[in-house]
């Protein structure tokens, strides 16, 4: 597709379950970012990939959060043992240059009951 694609668009899960969120960046974009946006809040940085390496994982809030990226393609954000405070929209963005112009997906809305 032409844009950044994220799936699922909506996910409702029970507390304690694991979830996987997927991001397909724009083809050829080497940089991939994950952000979290709680309701009515700003964007909270989680992790950044350059290719399949992650030079900046500083935003991952706990060891329950992990992310992988295959080459310069798909990335998966995994949240283990979900908690209610994990409820948020998880936004993925990709970029073709180093200076930060990001193209965002529509996000995956996670609700933990």
Partner 1 sequence: AQKVTQAQTEISVVEKEDVTLDCVYETRDTTYYLFWYKQPPSGELVFLIRRNSFDEQNEISGRYSWNFQKSTSSFNFTITASQVVDSAVYFCALYTGRRALTFGSGTRLQVQP
> Which residue from 1, 28, 42, 71 is in contact with partner 1, where contact means CB under 8 A?
42
> Does 101 participate in binding partner 1 (rule CB under 8 A)?
yes
Q: How far apart are CA 95 and CA 113, in angstroms?
A: 33
> Does 26 participate in binding partner 1 (rule CB under 8 A)?
no
Min dist. Cβ of residue 16 to partner 1 (A): 27
> Which residue from 60, 88, 89, 110 is in contact with partner 1, where contact means CB under 8 A?
89
Q: How is residue 25 annotated by DSSP?
A: P
> Which residue from 23, 60, 79, 91 is in contact with partner 1, where contact means CB under 8 A?
91
> Which residue from 11, 19, 36, 48 is in contact with partner 1, where contact means CB under 8 A?
48
All residues at 6 or more sequence positions from 104 whose CB lies less than 8 Å from its CB, including other chains: 4, 91, 92, 93
Residues 66, 69, 70, 71: is their CA dihedral positive or negative?
Answer: negative
Which residues lie across from 49 on neighbouring strands? 32
């Amino acid at each position: 597709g032409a844009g950044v694609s994220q799936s699922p668009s909506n996910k409702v899960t029970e507390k304690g379950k694991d979830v996987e969120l997927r991001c397909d960046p724009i083809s050829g974009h080497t940089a991939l970012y994950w952000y979290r946006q709680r309701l009515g809040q700003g964007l909270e940085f989680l992790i950044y990939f350059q290719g399949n390496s992650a030079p900046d994982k500083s935003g991952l809030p706990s060891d329950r959060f992990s992310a992988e990226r295959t080459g310069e393609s798909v990335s998966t954000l995994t949240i283990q043992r979900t908690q209610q405070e994990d409820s948020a929209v998880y936004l993925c963005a990709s970029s073709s240059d180093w200076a930060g112009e990001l193209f965002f997906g529509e996000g995956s809305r996670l609700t933990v009951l």
